[in-house]
Structure 1
Amino acid sequence: MSSEPGAIHSFFPVVVNVATGLATLEPELEDVLRSLGASRLDILKKVGLPRSLPYFFASLKVAVTLAFVGSVISETVASNLGIGYLMMSASATMNMPLVFAGLFVIGAMGVVMYELFARLERRLTGWATRGQNAAL
C-alpha cells in the first residue's frame, strides 16, 4: 500500500489534536514555571508535550483508520498494485469472494493498528487515566 495518501489524510487530525492538547496548558502553570526560571522550550518539553500525549494518541487512533481508507481509495483510482486495485479488478470479473477478502484484510489491518496504538497509549500515558483500568 502506498503511504502518501494515508499520510495526507492522517496529518491534519493529529496536528489539530496536538495543538488542542498544547492549548490546554493553564496560563497559571506556565507563569509559575517561568517564575522558577524555565524557558519556553523547557515548558514545552517538560509539561506541554507530556500533557498533549493523550490528545496525540487519540488522534493517532483515528488517523490510522483514515490512512487505510485513503490508501485503498487511491489504489482503486490510480494504481495497478495494492488491495484497492485487487478489489477493483476482482469486482470487474464478479469475483465477490476476493472483494470481500480484501475488505476483511483491510478491516483486520485497521483493527490491529488501532489496538497497537491503544496499547502504546496505555503504556505511555497510563498516568493520564483514572480508575481501575489505569494499571493495565
Structure 2
Amino acid sequence: MAFNRRKFMIKNASWMLILLLLLIWEIICVGLNVPEYLFPAPSAVWSAGIARWEPIMMHAWQTFFTTLVGFAIAVVVGVVLGVAVGTYPIVYKALYPLLVGFNSIPKVAFVPVLVVWFGIGTVPAILTAFLISFFPVLVNVAAGLATLEPELEDVLRSLGASKLDILRKVGLPRALPYFFASLKVAITLAFVGSVISETVASNMGIGYLMMAASSSMDMALVFAGLIVIGVMGVVMYELFAWMEKRFTRWANRGVNAAAV
C-alpha cells in the first residue's frame, strides 16, 4: 500500500501542486477582497474563460498556428546549421560567434523591423517565433555531434566508413537525446515569440486579445489568455517528451526511469 501511495504521488504531483496553488490563490483574493481589476481570483478567471470561450479559441488557434509554423522553420534551420557547426570545425569558427551575438539581441527589437518589411499580421509573429526558438535546436544538435568520441571515428574510418556514413549511422543517432531536449525548450520559446509579436503588431492572437483586455482593465480575460498559452505550451512540451521517451528510450535515466 505504501508503495502504491508513493507511485500515485509521483504521477500526480504536478496536478496536486496546481490545485494547491489555485486554492491558495482563491483564498488570498477572496479573503483580502482584492479588486478583480487588479488580481482576479481563479473563479473569476474561469468565469471569464467560459463567457468568452469562442473569441478565446479563435485567437488561441491563431497563436497556435503561427507558433507551429515558426517552430517548424526553426527546427529545419536549427538542424541544418547544427549539423554544419557540429561536424565542420571551420563552420564552427566562422559561424558560431555570429550566431551567439545574434541570439544575444532581444527578439522584441526585431518586431518593428519585421512590421516595416511584412506589415502587421501573421508573418511577423511567425518570424519572431522562428528567431527566438532556432538557437536552442542549433546548439543542442551541434553539441550532440561534437561529443562523438574521436577514437570511435578513427575506428569507423579504419573500417571503411566515410564521413557521411559516420554522421548518418552514428552521429545523428547519438545526437537524438540532445535534439529532443532542444525541442522541449524551443517550443516554449516559440510561444513566447508569437505572443510578443501579437502584442506589438497584430490584430489576431492571444497576445492581441490580452492587450485589448488589459486596455479595458479586464484582468480576468488577461489571465484566461495567459492560462491558455500555458496549457498549449505544456501540451506541446509533453508531446515532445513522449516522443523523446519513444525514440530515445535507451537514453532515459534517473528520475524519469524511476517514475515509470
TM-score over 0.5 (shorter chain): yes
Please report how far the alpha carbon of residue 97 of structure 1 lies from its aligned counterpart in structure 2 after TM superposition.
Answer: 1.1
Q: How far apart, in 2, do the equivalents of 1:45 and 1:5 lie?
A: 31
* Residue identity opposite 2:140 in structure 1: N
Give 2:136's match in structure 1, choosing from 13, 25, 28: 13
Q: Unmatched 5+ residue regions in structure 1?
A: none
Please report how far the alpha carbon of residue 96 of structure 1 lies from its aligned counterpart in structure 2 after TM superposition.
Answer: 1.1
Q: Unmatched 5+ residue regions in structure 2?
A: 1-62, 67-125
TM-score (norm 2): 0.50
Please report how far the alpha carbon of residue 129 of structure 1 lies from its aligned counterpart in structure 2 after TM superposition.
Answer: 2.1
Q: How far apart, in 2, do the equivalents of 1:7 and 1:117 lie?
A: 18
The answer to whether structure 1 residue 133 and structure 2 residue 257 are counterparts is yes
Give CA deviations for 1:52-91 in whole Å, capped at 9, x if unaligned. Answer: 0111111111111100011101100111110000000000
The answer to whether structure 1 residue 89 and structure 2 residue 212 are counterparts is yes
Q: How far apart, in 2, do the equivalents of 1:31 and 1:120 lie?
A: 32
Farther off after superposition, 124-133 or 89-98: 124-133
Q: How far apart, in 2, do the equivalents of 1:96 and 1:130 lie?
A: 42
- RMSD over aligned CA atoms reads 1.6
Q: How far apart, in 2, do the equivalents of 1:108 and 1:58 lie?
A: 19
Q: How far apart, in 1, do the equivalents of 2:149 and 2:168 lie?
A: 15
Match of 2:162 in 1: 39
* Residue identity opposite 2:147 in structure 1: T
The answer to whether structure 1 residue 28 and structure 2 residue 148 are counterparts is no
Give CA deviations for 1:5-26 in whole Å, capped at 9, x if unaligned. Answer: 1121110111011001100000
Match of 1:25, SS?
Answer: coil
Equivalent pairs: percent with the same residue?
Answer: 76
Match of 1:67 in 2: 190
TM-score (norm 1): 0.94
